[in-house]
């Protein structure tokens, strides 16, 4: 297996060419610049994860016709990363017919033509970046949500085979079902490919990391502040919530570092059983959470991931409700930067 070095501490570039409010050149040219990449490198980080929405690269009414302007943003980011000695993960955050945040509209797993577009897009990546080494890694698709993993196993295998027709050794990242849950990694098929990395996302406990999130119906009007670590009093407030709330958001009498360790265990077991490398592609805390708790959660999780040798990329660099910096790229909290940059 090619080594997955240089991916110990990184940051996501969410909101740039993925999950953008408006697909305007002005936004693409200004949201992330060379100075941002320089700043990330100055923190001591070793990589970035670049979320990419397919619409930047291909229009639905012109399938298989790839937009050079869209790819130029990826090329530029790779070039900046090379200059400042950062590695980069190219994460397909949204694919033709699939978006993790719009599940009712998803058709990818039902439509063979959309699947062909998805595979061919990855082959376009493979051809374009064939001459790059371990400094460029592919991530197949962000946060699958399916009734089970059967259809994702089939499609991911086809995508990997499509990439391997062109690039035999590219490091490829694959995640499990249910938003890259640690609990679904074991559902992934075993594949005879030594250059696969297995990813999970970690936002637990969700009631803490996403408190008062405007897009979460049951959390947006949460009437109490969730702190970390927490105690019995906070747990009692949680127990007073509705059955639907408790079914959707698990919580413990005591949430602390040991609790986080227990939640990571399924991923650790999976990696040991299959002798594979793990990567935490997203983790973070919403800006509504109290800063003291935010820092402590990041400190504890970073400690654990470093202890287990798991690389990580915090969500996210700028804005998007989970910011390290503001709209002008000014650091929000220096202590937070210090914690998420540790290796």
Pick left, alpha or beta for residue 319 (phi over 0 → left; psi -120 to 50 → alpha; otherwise beta).
left
State the burial class of residue 5 (Cβ atoms within 10 Å of its Cβ: 0-12, 13-18, 19+): exposed
Residue 22's pLDDT is 87
CATH 3.20.20.80 describes domain 9-216+256-340 = yes
Using an 8 Å Cβ cutoff, are 329 and 39 in contact?
Answer: yes
pLDDT band at residue 102 under the 50/70/90 scheme: confident
The one catalytic residue among 35, 143, 161, 223 = 143
Half-sphere exposure for 44 (CA within 13 Å, toward CB): 8
As a whole-number percent, the residues of the chain with pLDDT over 70 amount to: 100
State the Cα–Cα distance between residues 215 and 223, nearest whole angstrom. Answer: 16
Query: How far is it, in rounded angstroms, from Cα 56 to Cα 301?
Result: 33
Residue entry with tokens 């360790």: 261
Concatenate the DSSP letters of all residues of 33-91 into one string. -HHHHHHHHHTT--EEEEEEEGGGTB-TTSTT-B-HHHHHHHHHHHHHHHHTT-EEEEE
User: What value does the mean pLDDT take over residues 94-116?
Assistant: 92
Q: What's the CA gap between 183 and 199, in Å, rounded? A: 12
The active-site residue out of 282, 292, 299, 307 is 282
Band (199; pLDDT cuts 50, 70, 90): very high
Mean pLDDT score, 287-304: 98
The residue written with tokens 């803490």 in the block is 208
DSSP class of residue 267 equals H
What does the pLDDT average to over 173-182? 97
pLDDT tens, position by position, 42-92: 999 999 999 999 999 999 999 999 999 999 999 999 999 999 999 999 999
Average pLDDT score over the chain: 96
Helix (H) or strand (E) holding 124: helix 112-128
Confidence of residue 104 (pLDDT cuts 50, 70, 90): confident
The DSSP bridge partners found for residue 175 are 199
Confirm if 90 and 138 have CB atoms less than 8 A apart.
yes
Q: What is the pTM of this model?
A: 0.97
- Distance (Å, rounded) from C-alpha 114 to C-alpha 110? 8
Q: State yes or no: is 282 an active-site residue.
A: yes
Predicted pLDDT of residue 21: 86
pLDDT tens-digit profile of 231-242? 899 999 999 999
Report yes or no: 297 and 335 within 8 Å, Cβ to Cβ: no
Given a cut of 80, whether residue 160 has pLDDT beyond it is yes
Domain extents in the chain:
9-216+256-340
Alpha helices in 110-186 (DSSP H): 112-128, 150-164, 177-180
What is the model's pLDDT at position 291? 98
Establish how many alpha carbons lie within 13 A of residue 259's alpha carbon, considering only the half-sphere containing its beta carbon. Answer: 15
Confidence at residue 17, expressed as pLDDT on a 0 to 100 scale? 98
What is the predicted pLDDT for the residue at 1?
A: 65
- What CA dihedral angle connects 176, 179, 180 and 186, to 10 degrees? -40
192, 272 contact by CB (below 8 A): no
């Amino acid at each position: 297996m090619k080594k997955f070095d240089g991916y110990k501490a990184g940051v996501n570039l969410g909101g740039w060419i993925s999950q953008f409010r408006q697909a305007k050149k002005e936004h693409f040219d200004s949201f992330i610049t060379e100075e941002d990449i320089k700043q990330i490198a100055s923190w001591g980080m070793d990589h970035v994860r670049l979320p990419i929405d397919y619409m930047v690269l291909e229009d639905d009414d012109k399938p298989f016709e790839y937009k050079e302007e869209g790819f130029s943003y990826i090329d530029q980011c790779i070039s900046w990363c090379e200059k400042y000695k950062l590695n980069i993960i190219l994460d397909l955050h949204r694919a033709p017919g699939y978006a993790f945040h719009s599940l009712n509209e998803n058709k990818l797993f039902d439509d063979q033509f959309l699947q062909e577009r998805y595979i061919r897009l990855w082959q376009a990546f493979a051809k374009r970046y064939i001459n790059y080494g371990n400094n460029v890694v592919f991530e197949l698709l962000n946060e699958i949500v399916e009734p089970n993993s059967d259809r994702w196993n089939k499609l991911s295998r086809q995508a990997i085979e499509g990439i391997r027709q062109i690039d035999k050794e590219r490091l490829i990242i694959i995640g499990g079902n249910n938003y890259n849950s640690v609990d679904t990694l074991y559902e992934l098929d075993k594949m005879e490919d030594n250059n696969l990395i297995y990813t999970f996302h970690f936002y637990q406990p969700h009631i803490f990391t996403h408190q008062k999130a405007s897009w979460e119906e049951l959390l947006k009007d949460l009437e109490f502040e969730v702190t970390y670590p927490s105690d019995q009093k906070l747990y009692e407030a949680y127990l007073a919530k509705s059955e639907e709330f408790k079914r959707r958001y698990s919580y413990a009498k005591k949430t602390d570092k040991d609790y986080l360790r227990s939640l990571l265990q399924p991923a650790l077991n999976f990696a040991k059983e299959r002798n594979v490398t793990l990567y935490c592609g997203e983790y973070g805390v919403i800006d509504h959470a109290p800063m003291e708790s935010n820092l402590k959660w990041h400190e504890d999780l970073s400690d654990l991931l470093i202890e287990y040798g798991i690389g990580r990329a915090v969500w996210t660099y700028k804005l998007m409700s989970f910011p390290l910096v503001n709209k002008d790229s000014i650091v929000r909290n220096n202590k937070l930067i210090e914690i998420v940059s540790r290796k």
